[in-house]
């Protein structure tokens, strides 16, 4: 026992010294933030670590996840807003439809060339005036499409399918008359379209019913018809929009302006239709510009609307001027 006592005493003193050192170290570090082990992290490459860290968010991987999500995102699943480009109307026959890549190949009326359109969740489809889905489109369908340039692609915004099982609409100018058969130059395709009238056909002008004799070459008309074989149709209703020599008043907003050519497009407030109106480019029309509100008196000469007078509405005074 006497031999073991010095050994036990030495061990007790050693343990007490060690505990004292740990207590001193802990007391000296109170109030300090624990330092990050930068050296060990900096020695590991991002590839070895498996991810890059974001300042302020240790061990998180939001940057990597966001990049991966953006890289794999399908624009057809999350389509952007509709483009603000000009809408153009195209009529033609469907020659091919790719329902996997959402592509529609169209042969415009009166042309041998084909054009490819894209469609997505922003596109709307109608068959004989009833809204449906792209699944109803078939090769050979006659369609009218509202198109817009969307980056490098042409977007089909509205696709209207016309088949022989239901009525359709057309708008254009009568270019020839043969008894009760009429040749119409379609506004959309510029292609000749033949339609016939019967005793059941309603012909109207300014809301009143008139005789078939009012349908003369040069008249602008809108008709509802039943498609027949070939590029023909049987008219159910014909509305005369303008006759050669008629005068009109358009009041609305200038949507397009070409001063050198003497041409403007006005969105008429009464029917929300857009009309091309020609004018003398040498005339002094004041503050005529895109976006201006105008009142135009024009005559239809059988080919176009020719402005006789254009009045530009002065913009309202600003609140600062009123004050």
Over residues 82-97, the pLDDT tens digits come to 777 888 888 888 999 8
Same domain, 152 and 196: no
Average pLDDT, the chain: 75
242, 263, 290 - which closes a domain: 242
Across the range 122-132, mean pLDDT stands at 80
Surface-to-core class of residue 147, CB atoms within 10 Å of its CB (0-12 exposed, 13-18 middle, 19+ buried):
buried
Q: Using alpha carbons, select from 226, 247, 244, 222 the residue that is nearest to residue 235.
A: 226
Same domain, 125 and 155: yes
Count of domains for the chain = 3
Q: How many Å apart are CA 45 and CA 52, to the nearest integer? A: 9
Report yes or no on 32 lying in a domain.
no
Tokens coding 237: 């209703």
Same domain, 185 and 139: no
Same domain, 189 and 223: yes
Q: Which domain CATH number covers 139?
A: 2.40.50.320
Least confident span in 116-120, 143-147, 183-187:
183-187
User: Looking at the predicted structure, is the pLDDT value of residue 302 above 90?
Assistant: no
Tell me what percent of the residues of the chain surpass a pLDDT of 70.
Answer: 68
Report yes or no on 14 lying in a domain.
no
Q: How far is CA 251 from CA 248, 274, 310, 321, in A?
A: 10, 11, 10, 27
Q: Bridge partners of 232?
A: 194
The model's confidence at residue 314, banded by pLDDT at 50, 70 and 90, is confident
Across the range 299-307, mean pLDDT stands at 89
The model's confidence at residue 304, banded by pLDDT at 50, 70 and 90, is confident
- List the domain range (segments joined by +) for residue 199: 168-242
Q: How many CB atoms lie within 10 A of CB 103?
A: 15
What pLDDT shows up at residue 307? 94
How many residues belong to the chain? 323
User: Looking at the predicted structure, is the pLDDT value of residue 3 above 80?
Assistant: no
Same domain, 232 and 268: no
Same domain, 144 and 193: no
Same domain, 158 and 173: no
The model's confidence at residue 28, banded by pLDDT at 50, 70 and 90, is very low
What pLDDT shows up at residue 160? 86
The model's confidence at residue 234, banded by pLDDT at 50, 70 and 90, is confident
Across the range 136-163, mean pLDDT stands at 85
Q: Using alpha carbons, select from 124, 48, 120 the residue that is nearest to residue 78.
A: 120
Q: Using alpha carbons, select from 85, 171, 71 the residue that is nearest to residue 122.
A: 85
Report yes or no on 61 lying in a domain.
no
Count CA within 13 A, CB hemisphere, residue 99. 7
227, 242, 257 - which closes a domain: 242
Report yes or no on 303 lying in a domain.
yes
Q: Which residue has the higher pLDDT, 245 or 163?
A: 245
242, 259, 282 - which closes a domain: 242
Most distant CA pair in the chain, distance: 142
Q: Cβ(128)–Cβ(89) under 8 Å?
A: no
User: Looking at the predicted structure, is the pLDDT value of residue 310 above 90?
Assistant: yes
pTM of the predicted model as reported, rounded to 2 decimal places: 0.46
Q: Which residue has the higher pLDDT, 14 or 53?
A: 14
What pLDDT shows up at residue 230? 57
Report yes or no on 172 lying in a domain.
yes
Same domain, 232 and 278: no
């Amino acid at each position: 026992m006497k031999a073991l006592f010095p050994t036990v005493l030495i061990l007790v003193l050693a343990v007490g010294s060690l505990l004292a050192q740990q207590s001193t170290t802990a007391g000296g570090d109170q109030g300090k933030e624990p330092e990050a082990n930068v050296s060990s992290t900096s020695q590991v490459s991002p590839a070895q670590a498996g991810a890059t860290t974001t300042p302020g968010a240790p061990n998180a991987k939001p940057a990597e996840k966001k990049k991966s999500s953006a890289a794999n995102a399908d624009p057809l699943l999350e389509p952007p807003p509709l483009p603000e480009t000009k809408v153009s109307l195209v009529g033609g026959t469907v020659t091919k439809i790719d329902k996997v890549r959402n592509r529609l190949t169209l042969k415009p009326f009166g042309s041998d060339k084909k054009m490819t359109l894209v469609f997505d969740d922003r596109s709307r489809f109608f068959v004989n005036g009833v809204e449906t889905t792209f699944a109803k489109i078939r090769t050979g369908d006659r369609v009218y499409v509202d198109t817009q340039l969307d980056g490098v692609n042409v977007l089909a915004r509205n696709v209207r399918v016309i088949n022989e099982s239901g009525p359709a609409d057309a708008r254009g100018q009568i270019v020839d008359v043969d008894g009760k058969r009429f040749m119409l130059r379609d506004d959309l395709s510029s292609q000749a379209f033949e339609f016939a009238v019967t005793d059941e056909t309603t012909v109207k002008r300014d809301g009143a019913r008139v005789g078939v004799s009012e349908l003369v070459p040069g008249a602008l008309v809108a008709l509802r018809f039943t498609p027949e074989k070939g590029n023909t149709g049987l008219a159910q209703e014909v509305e005369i929009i303008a006759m050669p020599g008629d005068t009109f008043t358009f009041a609305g907003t200038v949507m397009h302006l070409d001063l050198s050519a003497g041409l403007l497009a006005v969105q008429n407030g009464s029917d929300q239709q857009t009309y091309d109106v020609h004018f003398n480019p040498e005339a002094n029309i004041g503050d005529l510009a895109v976006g201006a509100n105008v009142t135009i008196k024009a005559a239809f000469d059988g080919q176009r609307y020719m402005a006789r007078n254009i009045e530009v509405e002065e913009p309202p005074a600003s609140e600062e001027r009123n004050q």
